[in-house]
């Protein structure tokens, strides 16, 4: 199943929709007490998802076209956003950084979350070295604590697309990576979340990025140093991964920082990152003086 958050006329908050090809229906209208946002649906567990599927099959359900929808972030208020760095050998090599024996993990601030087809802006005085990173986002469905890699995917609710936008000059001038990746709007997600049953093998997905019409990343999630299952298992040893947690699993090679000449996001750049079978996520860039 495929879900998204959209803004509807007269609504103060985004509402959850179930997407079926080129049409969508409001989940909150399917039955009394139906969830209005993804986090609520995740917390209802398998029974809630099954009830949504059953209600959506009724002939009286009202559907509308997905085209023209105004999206919100695929995840709105996750318990935490965890990001993994240096999880593709090509990317760690091009940055001149060593992939350590343990994953490089940091958090992304909630203000960085934003939606498909929205504008992300930053002041020129803060950074002129802003880069793109196409990443697979993993959303936890059930609490995971000390799980083994063989069981880790059982705790995954679904997958989404993430663009881990990064101010490279700040990244290489500080000892932590959270601030350089957590400017307002630096973590676009979505537009869709696909349930885990739709992705039988998260290590067999085509992932790519296009900047201003040029393909700059083109890889497979099979090139990850540590698989999704390995990452979930590792992260669960330190603390319980709560339902709704978003894990951004790292970017393949092709970052703008390492290119010759370098490609940094400019005023009015358009970035599209995508993962086949999950979706395409577009970001419009603006640089302010």
For 143-155, the pLDDT digits (tens) are: 999 999 999 999 9
Residues 65 and 88 in one domain: no
Answer yes or no: do 44 and 166 share one domain. Answer: no
Report the pLDDT value the prediction gives residue 10, as an integer from 0 to 100. 77
268 within a domain of the structure (yes/no)? yes
* Residue 76 within any structural domain of the chain: no
Q: Do 144 and 181 lie in a common domain?
A: yes
Residue 9 confidence (pLDDT) = 80
| 158 and 192 co-located in one domain | yes
Q: pLDDT digit string (tens) for 57-85? A: 999 999 999 998 999 999 999 999 999 99
- The dihedral built from the CA positions of residue 163, 197, 230 and 207, taken in this order, carries a sign that is negative
89 occurs within a structural domain: yes
144, 260: one domain: yes
What residue numbers bound the domain in which 108 lies?
Answer: 81-288
pLDDT of residue 93: 67
* C-beta neighbour count of 275 within 10 angstroms: 24
Q: ∠ at Cα 116 (115, 119), nearest 5°?
A: 75
CATH code for the domain of 265: 3.90.850.10
Check whether residue 191 and residue 107 sit in a common domain. Answer: yes
* In-domain check, residue 186: yes
The verdict on residue 110 lying in a domain is: yes
Query: How many whole angstroms separate alpha carbon 62 and alpha carbon 231?
Result: 40
From 40, 71, 102, the end of a domain falls on 71
CA-based torsion, 86, 90, 94, 96: positive or negative:
positive
Residues 161 and 284 in one domain: yes
The count of structural domains within the chain is: 2
User: Whole-model pTM above 0.85?
Assistant: yes
pLDDT of residue 97: 67
| In a shared domain, residues 39 and 88 | no
| 27 and 116 part of one domain | no
Q: Which of 45, 71, 97 is the last residue of a domain?
A: 71
Q: Left (φ > 0), alpha (ψ -120 to 50) or beta: where does 33 sit?
A: left
The predicted structure's pLDDT at residue 100: 67
- Boundary-marking domain end, from 41, 71, 101: 71
Q: Is 266 contained in some domain?
A: yes
The reply to whether 92 and 12 lie within a common domain is no
Question: Do 49 and 107 share a domain, yes or no?
Answer: no
pLDDT at position 11: 79
Same domain for 33 and 161, yes or no, is no
**What is residue 98's predicted lDDT score, i.e. its pLDDT?**
64
Report, as ranges of residue numbers, the positions in the chain whose pLDDT lies below 70. 91-100
In a domain, 99, yes or no: yes
pLDDT at 101: 73
Look up tokens 């709007």; give the residue.
Answer: 185
Q: Are 282 and 117 in contact (CB under 8 A)?
A: yes
Let me know: does 218 contact 208? Beta carbons within 8 Å: yes
């Amino acid at each position: 199943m495929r879900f998204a958050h959209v803004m509807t006329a007269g609504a103060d908050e985004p509402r959850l929709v179930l997407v079926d090809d080129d049409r969508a229906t409001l989940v909150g209208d399917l039955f009394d007490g139906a969830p209005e946002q993804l986090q609520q649906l995740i917390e209802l567990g398998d029974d809630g998802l099954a009830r949504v599927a059953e209600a959506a099959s009724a002939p009286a359900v009202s559907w509308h076209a997905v085209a023209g929808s105004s999206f919100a972030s695929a995840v709105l208020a996750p318990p935490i956003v965890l990001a993994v760095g240096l999880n593709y050998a090509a990317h760690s090599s091009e940055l001149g950084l060593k992939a350590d024996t343990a994953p490089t993990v940091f958090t992304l601030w909630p203000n960085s979350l934003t939606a498909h087809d929205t504008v992300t802006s930053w002041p020129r005085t803060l950074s002129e070295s802003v880069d793109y990173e196409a990443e697979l986002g993993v959303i936890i469905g059930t609490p995971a604590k000390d799980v083994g890699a063989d069981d880790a995917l059982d705790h995954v609710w679904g997958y989404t697309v993430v663009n881990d936008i990064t101010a490279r000059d700040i990244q290489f001038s500080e000892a932590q990576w959270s601030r350089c990746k957590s400017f307002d709007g630096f973590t676009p997600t979505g537009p869709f979340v696909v349930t885990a049953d739709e992705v039988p093998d998260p290590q067999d997905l085509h992932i790519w990025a296009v900047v201003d019409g040029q393909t700059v990343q083109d890889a497979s999630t099979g090139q990850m140093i540590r698989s999704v299952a390995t990452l979930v298992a590792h992260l669960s040893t330190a603390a319980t991964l709560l339902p709704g947690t978003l894990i951004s699993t790292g970017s393949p090679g092709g970052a703008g920082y390492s290119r010759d000449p370098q490609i940094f996001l400019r005023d009015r750049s358009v970035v599209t990152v995508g993962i086949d079978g999950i979706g395409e996520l577009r970001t419009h860039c603006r640089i302010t003086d």
